[in-house]
Amino acid sequence: MMARMHTPVSLSTPASTASPGRLAAPRIDWKQELAEAIRDPAELCRLLDLDPALAQAAAGGHRLFPFLVPRGFAARMRRGDPGDPLLLQVLPRAEELVDMPGFTTDPLDEQDARRAGGLLQKYASRALLLLTGACAVNCRYCFRREFPYAESGATPAGTTAAVAAVAADPTLTEVILSGGDPLLLDDPRLDHLLDQLESIPHLRRLRIHSRLPVVLPSRITPRLLTRLAGSRLTVSLVIHANHAAELDETVATGLTDLTTAIPLRFNQAVLLKGINDSVHALAMLSERLISLGVVPYYLHLLDPVRGTAGFAVPDSRGQELIESLRRRLPGYAVPRLARELPGEPAKVWLA
Ligand code: SF4
């Protein structure tokens, strides 16, 4: 994961927006916001007026997979609520240290899907470019929480090799930028990569998988919008939000700005115990996404990664939830319930 750059600042800045019971969200440059992200569970617990015992319980998990939360994301959490659905996604848990049967470091066999440098190919016609291991937030349920990024080509040299492999394979028509979070690449590196991909004649589409529009919306800069809008490739964006409370007005503004640059916008969520495993929570998420012009595309069942068993929801419960959503929402607002199984030619849809 990325190097630590902890610079503690107050969340209550004059140029901030606050809603009752929540912390104030600072409006700053994205790199500065990332540098000032919270990297100590105890600090977040203090800011949210939570029991210090929660931070002590978090210490073990934090050592395994570092804690990282941008202040703008923390600002959407409710003060004094240890069950806040955003907090539960990011606060380390003591149970992460307990090995559970069936939960492994690479349950998707992604190492077997490596082709060249940072290029993974799991399915026909498209391939995944791992650009970095860094994220702006560390989600405790992450399926790549123990992924060996550096050894897997998520480096500048690995990207060069991956682009060459794409150029040499005319069966590939779509490249997916992934990580980590690909939008953490700075603009010059992103520009260079897009230039290279656009020069590959057989490439038609570019898909960006990023959680930054949700957790660090300041990354949606005019320069980024202009570059993406000018691409000859058909660009789509897949964001990652699990709960409607993640999608506040700063996120809404960024997503609205993205509308022209990227006409195709989707969301992928993970079904998470105690966070969004209710019809109400999922319906609210879908309603909010649709209102922001984002299609709720996938609801993933948890990948059984070591340390994440506490988030698992049974497949049968996921199917019940989707059936209930179908009775409540129009079809385009009901996500596909999906699980990725290594070796399958596509994701498996369970509903
Ligand atoms: S943003 Fe995505 S890749 Fe990064 S920690 Fe969260 S789930 Fe994992």
Check which CATH number belongs to the domain holding 137 and give it.
Answer: 3.20.20.70
* DSSP designation for 345: S
The domain of 56 spans: 16-97
Contacts of 209 (CB under 8 A, 6+ apart): 176, 177, 178, 179, 182, 238, 240, 268
Mean pLDDT is lowest, of 10-19, 115-124, 173-182, 324-333, for 10-19
Tell which of 34, 65, 97 closes a domain.
Answer: 97
Domain count, the chain: 2
* Pair 177, 228 in one domain: yes
Cα 3 to Cα 259: distance, rounded to the nearest angstrom: 33
| Residues 226-237: tens digit of each pLDDT | 999 999 999 999
Cα 244 to Cα 276: distance, rounded to the nearest angstrom: 9
> In this structure, what token pair is assigned to residue 261?
């640059």
Q: Which residue has the higher pLDDT, 51 or 1?
A: 51
* Pair 155, 289 in one domain: yes
> In this structure, what token pair is assigned to residue 335?
């996500």
What's the pLDDT score for residue 13? 33
Give me the phi and psi of 225, to 5 degrees please. -60, -45
| CB contact at 8 A, 333 and 287 | yes
Contacts of 128 (CB under 8 A, 6+ apart): 119, 120, 121, 122, 175, 176, 178
Pairing between β-strand 114-116 and β-strand 126-130 as defined by DSSP bridges: unpaired
Tell me, in angstroms, the distance from the centre of ligand 1 to residue 327's CA. Answer: 31
Establish if 104 belongs to a structural domain. Answer: no
Tell me, in angstroms, the distance from the centre of ligand 1 to residue 185's CA. Answer: 15
Cα 289 to Cα 286: distance, rounded to the nearest angstrom: 5
Establish if 4 belongs to a structural domain. Answer: no
Taking CA atoms only, the protein residue closest to ligand 1 atom 8 is 142
Taking CA atoms only, the protein residue closest to ligand 1 atom 7 is 142
Neighbours of 83 (CB within 10 A): 9
Tell me, in angstroms, the distance from the centre of ligand 1 to residue 14's CA. Answer: 30
How far CA 259 is from CA of 138, 168, 331, in Å, comes to 27, 33, 22
Establish if 115 belongs to a structural domain. Answer: yes
* Pair 194, 69 in one domain: no
What's the pLDDT score for residue 261? 92
* Pair 79, 115 in one domain: no
Establish if 6 belongs to a structural domain. Answer: no
Asked if the model's pLDDT at residue 11 lies above 80, the reply is no
Asked if the model's pLDDT at residue 311 lies above 80, the reply is yes
Question: What's the whole-number average pLDDT of the chain?
Answer: 91
Establish if 102 belongs to a structural domain. Answer: no
Average pLDDT value for residue range 51-79: 94
* Encoded amino acid at 33, one letter: E
Average pLDDT value for residue range 67-81: 97
| Residues 165-218: tens digit of each pLDDT | 999 999 999 999 998 999 999 999 999 999 999 999 999 999 999 999 999 999
* Pair 279, 139 in one domain: yes
Establish if 301 belongs to a structural domain. Answer: yes
H-type alpha helices, the chain: 30-35, 41-47, 52-64, 71-74, 87-90, 156-167, 187-198, 212-215, 222-229, 249-261, 279-291, 315-328
In which band, very low, low, confident or very high, does the pLDDT at 12 lie, cut at 50, 70 and 90? very low
Tell me, in angstroms, the distance from the centre of ligand 1 to residue 140's CA. Answer: 8
Pick the atom of ligand 1 nearest to 211's CA: 1
Pick the atom of ligand 1 nearest to 209's CA: 2
Q: Which residue has the higher pLDDT, 333 or 26?
A: 333
Neighbours of 51 (CB within 10 A): 11
Tell me, in angstroms, the distance from the centre of ligand 1 to residue 178's CA. Answer: 10
Q: Which residue has the higher pLDDT, 329 or 343?
A: 329
Establish if 11 belongs to a structural domain. Answer: no
* Pair 345, 214 in one domain: yes
* Pair 245, 277 in one domain: yes
Q: What element of type H or E holds 176? A: strand 174-178
Ligand 1: residue of 64, 89, 183, 211 to mutate (most ligand atoms within 8 A of CB) is: 211
* Pair 264, 322 in one domain: yes
pLDDT above 90 covers a percentage of the chain that reads 78
Taking CA atoms only, the protein residue closest to ligand 1 atom 3 is 180
Ligand 1: residue of 39, 65, 142, 246 to mutate (most ligand atoms within 8 A of CB) is: 142
Coil, strand or helix at 136? coil
Pick the atom of ligand 1 nearest to 144's CA: 8
Ligand 1: residue of 131, 138, 219, 268 to mutate (most ligand atoms within 8 A of CB) is: 138
* Pair 338, 314 in one domain: yes
| CB contact at 8 A, 47 and 81 | no
What's the pLDDT score for residue 22? 63
| Residues 132-146: tens digit of each pLDDT | 999 999 999 999 998
| Residues 261-293: tens digit of each pLDDT | 999 999 999 999 999 999 999 999 999 999 999
* DSSP designation for 69: B
Write the DSSP string, 137-151. S--TT-TTTT--TGG
* Pair 91, 130 in one domain: no
Tell which of 69, 97, 125 closes a domain.
Answer: 97
* Pair 202, 285 in one domain: yes
Tell me, in angstroms, the distance from the centre of ligand 1 to residue 134's CA. Answer: 9
What's the pLDDT score for residue 344? 83
Ligand 1: residue of 39, 88, 130, 135 to mutate (most ligand atoms within 8 A of CB) is: 135
Tell which of 97, 126, 153 closes a domain.
Answer: 97
How far CA 234 is from CA of 36, 160, 163, in Å, comes to 34, 22, 18
Establish if 9 belongs to a structural domain. Answer: no
Q: Which residue has the higher pLDDT, 253 or 10?
A: 253
Average pLDDT value for residue range 314-318: 97
pLDDT above 70 covers a percentage of the chain that reads 92
Pick the atom of ligand 1 nearest to 270's CA: 7
In which band, very low, low, confident or very high, does the pLDDT at 6 lie, cut at 50, 70 and 90? very low
Which residues form the pocket of ligand 1, taking CB atoms under 6 Å from any ligand atom?
135, 137-139, 142, 144, 180-181, 211, 240
* Pair 77, 123 in one domain: no
The pTM assigned to this predicted structure is 0.91
